[in-house]
Structure 1
């Protein structure tokens, strides 16, 4: 059991590192809680907007739902999203599947990027 829990934490840390490496991904909280990683995909179309502007927040709020819709239609991933207080919708990935591995994390990030690239 300890090995499995350690694996979850390793995968969560790997996901966090990968998010920080990608130019269109941003973490919501720098210090994640357990294996719960919260992040945004920020498309190039809004990347240069003022982060505090109403326009930026409104447009970013629509990104995660649109990407999830595309995932569901294609049938390859299902990742939850939610807002928090005044923060726009963000992806909330909880690493807890015993079959998950590093390749799955890479695949997920690549798919989010693919689905959000034209937004």
Structure 2
């Protein structure tokens, strides 16, 4: 009887990105890039804060040759049941970077990155995972 009442577990968030995007041991982009990344994250956070709670941030790194269009498609294939957040792309561009996002059930997943040339051979990548507002 108890087993009949249990629901199948569902993934409430999208996964971390595939290789070659990695979590570096330390932030190696310098103060200028860190400031640009912080500005970009702030712009996105400001646009989403009314709909979602404070995000959990993950700072990653991607080689300059990373095909972010392919990464976006990879997430699109895994985002069944999630709705695209089209405003993320426009806000990211206005904030000096690029990005995309998805939302579902009061949660959001956003991936942002700066242009590879801004980081001399690599792109800083930030993932924001938003939960339901408190």
- Normalised-by-shorter TM-score class: 0.3 to 0.5
Normalising by the residue count of structure 1, what TM-score does the alignment of the two structures yield? Answer: 0.37
Which has a greater percent of helix?
Answer: 1
Larger radius of gyration: 2
Which has a greater percent of strand?
Answer: 2
Normalising by the residue count of structure 2, what TM-score does the alignment of the two structures yield? Answer: 0.34
